[in-house]
Amino acid sequence: MNGQNESSRSTISRRQFLAAAGGVTFVIAAGAFAPDIFAEESRSVPGEDKQITAWVRVQEDGRIIIYNPAAEMGQGSMTALAVIIAEEMDADWADVQIEFSPIEPSTYGLQWGGKLGGPMITVGSRTVRGYYHALRHAGAQARYVLLHNAAEKWGVPMAELNTGQSVVIHKAGGRKMSYGEIAAFAKAPPQLPEIPEVEWRKPEDFRLIGKVIPRFDIPGKVDGSAMFSIDVQVPGMVYGAISRSPVNGSKPELLNEEDVRETEGLIDIVQLDHGIGVIAETYEQALNAKKKLQISWSKGAKAEGFDSVKAYALYHKTAQDKSVQGEVVERSGDVAQALRSAYKTYDIEYNTDFAYHAQMEPLNAVVSVAADGKSAEAWVGSQAPDTARRAISETLNIDFSQVTLHPCYLGGGFGRRSMADYVEEATLLSNKIRRPVKLIWTREDDVQYGAFRPICLQRMQAATDEKGNLTGWGHCITGTGGGLLDSGATINYYTIPNRLIEVRNIDHGVRTKHWRSVAHGPNKYAIEAFLDEIAVDQGIDPYELRRRLMKDHPRELKVLDEAAALATWGEIDKEGRARGIAFCERSGSFSAAVVEISLDRSSGQIRVHRVWAALDAGVVVQPDNAIAQMEGGIVMGISNVLQESITFRNGKVRQSNFHDYPILRMADAPESIEVRLIPSREAPQGIGEASLPLMGGAIANAFLKLTGKPLRHMPFTPERVLEALEG
């Protein structure tokens, strides 16, 4: 990384660059589109090569460099996207190297309305489903360029040529030419044709898609060489730390600037809207200066006085208020009428506490603002690198093109890293001294100035007829977080005639954010736990109840059936154990899981022993990685469901580190997780968040079966479990 700035300038002129115009890719001369990100030194594979298309370079030695436009935060999409291109361009996977693409959303942004050019965001399990079609096409175009060049070289029609694993073959002439050989003379055609889908590789001929291919990023993650932004070192770099508002919205006044300035190694103090920043020669010196800060915080912020434990009383009142109509998520039929005319009704509330992302790499960024303030370079691990790049340009009031952003691996994202707050902060610090600054949040900063999955209460209502059929469904979500509250509330896969789903948001002025699977965690928990309470009351097996509700949805039903079969549902549970089932759709995928739990009745500790899950995510590009995502979501889900809770008192976050915000440790992980992927030719769907929302319902349902008692407040901490047992 060292010296990157100087040397990159000299290499730019040698390169050709590509720009996309109207969805068609042209090769144009250097200069018109020349982000520094193309710098030779930023590449994992230096050397002479040819830019074949906007997505692919080929080296004369045969190495094929494919660009990855997505953040790699552990979900494996950097490999999956390259697999898609390599499949269609008929590359030998052994030749493939993967690099981050430039942060140019017009070329590398997600398919948005069918075409590339949307934002470069890695959120909502969008990556594979948001690039699959476009990158198959891009791979087919790269293959076209190689075929076109070989045809010209040999003076034969393109139609006589074929490809086979990094080689162009002319069967009639009995000759072959490797992609590397073609790279030596290749010229990109002035215009790339659209390749019709019928000419793409047939799914039955896939060599890479759907096969087990080791992830590209893993070797660097086992030898310490993988670069996270926290690992980046640039010449002249110094370190920043910030003391931020303990109550969101309060403004700082520094009371002891002179004392702080005497800290060894201190370079500068930076006044921010929401805190005081310090910059020092080393990080530990910056932390020493931060500790010394005496700050008076302004009064009157909206969040002042907020108490998250007491908030549930307000949510309850709001959810029960008949005079209020919330924002309607879905309305069909007449629920009020269905409830009035029901043989039996149910009305139960479920609570879910705030959740913190707890990504293992605390937020950080390296930003270097040029001495004249007119350009900047940054090293960031971001789920939205184009947003981060824009945030820097807007903070400095300079053009987007004057910001160079080097994407780094993310030590976890889970939704926290699609916000650019930490990048803006690093920019402000660097701008103050016009030197490279690495800003690092401490774990305490990361927890206490977190942006959390919202607290919420779900009021669930149901009407049944005399046979126990569900005839009405009401789901009222109250909490804080606006648009973060409703995902996963709809249940189109369950046939229930009268439905009303609504959100009644209350703004407390605290920071909220997307958190892996967003509101699917709380909503699917409430839906699935409620169904089991109804099933038990009606004397119906919970799996059977779901089967009946899914009778019009065979694809979803198959997923449920697969999970139940895997778990041998219906078998008698071992002594002291019970199984619970749940179903979920998220990001287009369907998933179901069965968990087996036991309970320590003296401590109130629930233990999840085994998990069986099934997934239908359409075409799965990387099956082993899909299983890893399912496993990870299950473990993170169990962690969240059993022990994670952020609470506020007097507007302040009460937790600060892993001692009071524990996340699941190895000893508490299930003994086994079995995942079945259902084969499919349907379009690929999101996988990274598919399994997490299953855990709340499945665990509550197993608990209900084991004890006869419902669990109605996540997380199911030992204290709450003991309360439920007494209740």
Given the rule CB under 8 A, which residues bind other proteins?
73-76, 214-215, 217-226, 228, 230-231, 233, 239, 264-265, 282-285, 358-362, 409-414, 440, 442-443, 624-625, 628-629, 631-636, 639, 657-659, 663-667, 669-670, 672-673
| 502 closest CA partner among 262, 318, 703 | 318
Of 448 and 464, the one with the shorter C-beta distance to other proteins is 448
Of 18 and 267, the one with the shorter C-beta distance to other proteins is 267
Q: CB 359 → other proteins: shortest distance, Å?
A: 6
E strand segments, 392-522: 403-407, 436-440, 456-464, 470-479, 498-505
Of 18 and 358, the one with the shorter C-beta distance to other proteins is 358
Of 362 and 474, the one with the shorter C-beta distance to other proteins is 362
Of 256 and 282, the one with the shorter C-beta distance to other proteins is 282
Strands 344-352 and 456-464: antiparallel
Of 214 and 679, the one with the shorter C-beta distance to other proteins is 214
Of 215 and 475, the one with the shorter C-beta distance to other proteins is 215
Handedness of CA 615, 457, 542, 601 (dihedral sign): positive
Q: At what angle do helices 520-538 and 623-643 cross, to 10 degrees?
A: 70
Of 315 and 409, the one with the shorter C-beta distance to other proteins is 409
Of 96 and 335, the one with the shorter C-beta distance to other proteins is 96
SS3 at position 556: helix
Q: CB 382 → other proteins: shortest distance, Å?
A: 14
E strand segments, 409-451: 436-440
Q: CB 222 → other proteins: shortest distance, Å?
A: 4
Q: CB 119 → other proteins: shortest distance, Å?
A: 22
Q: What Cα–Cα distance (Å) separates residue 415 from each residue in 47, 125, 382, 451, 628?
A: 36, 10, 10, 10, 19
Contacts of 516 (CB under 8 A, 6+ apart): 357, 414, 415, 633, 636, 688, 689, 692
Q: CB 658 → other proteins: shortest distance, Å?
A: 4
C-alpha to C-alpha distance for 478 and 482, rounded to whole angstroms: 9
Alpha carbons within 13 A on the beta-carbon side of 379? 23
Q: CB 649 → other proteins: shortest distance, Å?
A: 22
Of 59 and 598, the one with the shorter C-beta distance to other proteins is 598
C-alpha to C-alpha distance for 123 and 114, rounded to whole angstroms: 18
Please report where in the chains the tokens 């619970």 appear, as a residue.
Answer: 580
Q: CB 613 → other proteins: shortest distance, Å?
A: 13
Please report where in the chains the tokens 């994202």 appear, as a residue.
Answer: 413
Q: CB 244 → other proteins: shortest distance, Å?
A: 16
Q: CB 674 → other proteins: shortest distance, Å?
A: 11
Two tokens, residue 643:
């022990």
| 183 closest CA partner among 53, 83, 38 | 53
Two tokens, residue 34:
């020349």
Of 28 and 226, the one with the shorter C-beta distance to other proteins is 226
Q: CB 440 → other proteins: shortest distance, Å?
A: 7
Of 107 and 691, the one with the shorter C-beta distance to other proteins is 691
| 227 closest CA partner among 350, 498, 411, 33 | 411
Q: CB 148 → other proteins: shortest distance, Å?
A: 37
Q: What Cα–Cα distance (Å) separates residue 168 from each residue in 87, 176, 181, 472?
A: 15, 6, 10, 62
Q: CB 450 → other proteins: shortest distance, Å?
A: 14
Angle ∠(391,394,399) on CA atoms, nearest 5:
110
Contacts of 440 (CB under 8 A, 6+ apart): 230, 239, 240, 241, 283, 362, 363, 364
Q: CB 215 → other proteins: shortest distance, Å?
A: 6
Of 108 and 414, the one with the shorter C-beta distance to other proteins is 414
How many DSSP H helices and E strands does the chain contain? 19, 30
Query: Cα-flanking dihedrals φ and ψ of residue 369, to 5°?
Result: -90, 130
Of 284 and 719, the one with the shorter C-beta distance to other proteins is 284
C-alpha to C-alpha distance for 604 and 723, rounded to whole angstroms: 9
Of 633 and 697, the one with the shorter C-beta distance to other proteins is 633
Q: CB 284 → other proteins: shortest distance, Å?
A: 5
Q: CB 77 → other proteins: shortest distance, Å?
A: 11
Q: Which amino acid is at 536?
A: V
C-alpha to C-alpha distance for 87 and 201, rounded to whole angstroms: 8
C-alpha to C-alpha distance for 53 and 172, rounded to whole angstroms: 28
Handedness of CA 338, 339, 345, 349 (dihedral sign): positive
Of 217 and 394, the one with the shorter C-beta distance to other proteins is 217
C-alpha to C-alpha distance for 548 and 570, rounded to whole angstroms: 16
SS3 at position 611: strand
Q: CB 243 → other proteins: shortest distance, Å?
A: 15
Of 213 and 560, the one with the shorter C-beta distance to other proteins is 213
Q: CB 96 → other proteins: shortest distance, Å?
A: 17
281 dihedral zone (left: phi>0; alpha: psi -120 to 50; beta)? alpha
How many residues make up the chain in this entry? 727
| 521 closest CA partner among 317, 704, 350 | 350
Contact 146, 182 (CB under 8 A): yes
